[in-house]
Structure 1
């Protein structure tokens, strides 16, 4: 595949296709390589392998290209170098971000998301669900895509706590700020994999980062209570921690539904992830 992709990019006139191609781990949908040329900084080649109709995390190469171009020079996203349509699929080339995937340090993650949410969003991004009613509607839609007994049981776990009104906000959201998409260098983090951004309530990103299932998938274990508390305390957006806590049951219910959908798509580990979300939801409902 590498030879075919390199030839396609060369015929397109793309930058930095010569050199050593090293596959990068972490991408769950697309294929990525770090290309180290004899001279010049390394780059990342990202080949999109299609969108199987993911109900929570879209995979749109044109949107990622749009966002990276808009965020150029702000230090919160990689530097866009090139984009090409190839016979193997759309391909994005961006500057390699040096560092390590986030593995700890709640304040670093919170500050990174705060910087994203403070940035002016580009035009024409999709809008994420806002408020408990919209989150419940989205979760029911995901559950209708499932056919398992577990999904039918999950439908009965719809939160019954007081509803939370829409925020009306339209901040820039990364959409998938999991540990594998935060590259840490020193005391700062840059976010990669911008294929599912949106605008909306900042709690949307907070919920994905805090999700037990996402932390389990990328870090091997959910956040400890002290880590969750430190993250929310460090986010430093007035009233947002309280809003997230009010919405948390619906976010856990939605992620439970998503994990069950993933399991039905063949992801064996998603069933365990679903259990972490179900336990978090039940714990909140019993408080």
Structure 2
């Protein structure tokens, strides 16, 4: 089971790192401001920093926390929080990473609150992020620290096969059958889209998971948080996870063709690399593949008595099953 942290534990860790705060810790107890599958986010002082405590041992985390720190460090100022420090805690002979980062004020907006103007500002933020480029895709540290990185390519069909290979054995019974019914169409779709993605010769630092719940808005300024999935990859991926024909819950907004085109035009106008039509095809592909993966994850959680799926996430799974199937049928 994922671990939960107490305010006292958080206070003890932060007290051992006064350099994170820049000032002595106030008498008030830290309070938790967020909880995900991999991390809890705590605010030990009103002005920050935000301190993220892993809920699982380092070997069970889906991504290397050092990659997250590297991605935040490479990102242009104002796109995301700045990393401040990191530590590893030993609990019951297991290592739990802790990452301290700049606190970003604001709130997560519901999909209905995202106006066209705000989506255009987000597009400009992503265009700024994607100015950090490399000749091949891969991990942030592996690519950015290479003295002479060789050119490389993305294999979208292999990405989809990897999703299927990972989740198919974990979904028995009716959920597995329903999910398998989507996999064949997804693989055929991926085979058609893959050559266009494979033709990319320049890759960007991407957030990797800019769903709406990973964006904090302060006034009209959206800032990307939770850089767990940052990587060097196709910038169209970041443009896809905002939502579209595939949508679900508070993560992916239901966007019309016109709204998607408006977003992509704003991105290109702000200096984003690519052409609107090509970006559209690629961003839709990444969103569809992610929808398939997230659907499998939600059904896997729902089938495990040791884990509790919320009614909202069960509803999101129904949205994903319906919209992924409809998208593939219309392709």
Partner residue, 1:223: 255
User: Does the 8 Å contact 2:37/2:55 carry over to 1?
Assistant: no
Q: In the alignment, what sits opposite 2:310?
A: none
Tell me which residue corresponds to 2:20.
Answer: 15
Partners of 1:259 and 1:32 in 2: CA distance? 22
- Kept in 2: contact 1:30–1:47 (CA 8 A): yes
Provide Cα deviations, 1:2-60, integer angstroms capped at 9, x if missing partner: 212322332355534543423223634311122325xxx23211112237878xxx432
Query: By how many angstroms is 1:175 displaced?
Result: 0.5
TM-score, normalising length: structure 2 = 0.71
1:79 aligns with 2:82: yes
Q: Are the counterparts in 2 of residues 184 and 190 from structure 1 also a CA contact under 8 Å? A: yes
Cα drift, residue 257 of structure 1? 2.5
Task: Give the distance between the partners of 1:52 and 1:151, measured in 2 at CA.
Answer: 28
Aligned to 1:48: 54
State how far apart, in whole Å, the 1-side matches of 2:59 and 2:291 are.
19
Aligned equivalents of 1:219, 1:208: Cα separation in 2:
8
1:6 paired with 2:11, answer yes
How far the C-alpha of 1:242 sits from its partner, in A, is 1.4
Residue 189 of structure 1 aligns with which residue? 222
Using the alignment, how far apart are the partners of 1:184 and 1:93 within structure 2?
20
**Cα deviation code 1:178-212 (max 9, x no counterpart):** 11222223433221111211112211211222355
Three-state SS of the structure 1 residue aligned to 2:202 is coil
Counterparts in 2 of 1:239 and 1:80: CA distance versus 1, 3 Å: closer
Please list, as runs of the form range in 1=range in 2, the aligned pairs for 1:119-138 lying within 5 A after superposition. 119=132, 123-125=141-143, 134-138=155-159
Instruction: Identify the residue that residue 320 of structure 2 maps to in structure 1.
Output: 273
User: Please, what TM-score do these two structures have when normalized by structure 1?
Assistant: 0.81
Summarize the alignment of residues 117-196 of structure 1 with structure 2, pairs less than 5 Å apart: 117-119=130-132, 123-125=141-143, 134-145=155-166, 146=168, 147=171, 148-157=176-185, 158-159=188-189, 161=192, 163-164=195-196, 165-196=198-229
Measured after TM superposition, the shift of residue 234 of structure 1 is 0.8
Are the equivalent residues in 2 in contact too, given 1:256–1:275 (CA < 8 A)? no
**Worse-matched range after superposition: 94-103 or 19-28:** 19-28
Structure 2 CA distance for partners of 1:7 and 1:239, relative to 1, 3 Å: closer
1:27 aligns with 2:36: yes
Residues 101-158 of structure 1: per-residue CA shift (max 9 Å, x gap) = 254122011111111101357642599x955xx2121112211222411232112212
Structure 2's unaligned 5+ residue stretches are 1-5, 135-139, 303-313
User: Mean alpha-carbon deviation: is it higher for 44-53 or for 83-92?
Assistant: 44-53
Matched, 1:257 2:292: yes
The verdict on how the C-alpha distance between 1:2 and 1:65 changes in structure 2, with shifts beyond 3 A counting, is same
Once the two structures are overlaid, the 10-residue window that deviates more, 143-152 or 6-15, is 6-15
My pick for the range that moved more, 135-144 or 267-276, is 267-276
SS of the aligned residue for 1:180 comes to helix
Q: C-alpha root-mean-square deviation of aligned residues, in Å?
A: 3.0
The verdict on how the C-alpha distance between 1:199 and 1:231 changes in structure 2, with shifts beyond 3 A counting, is same
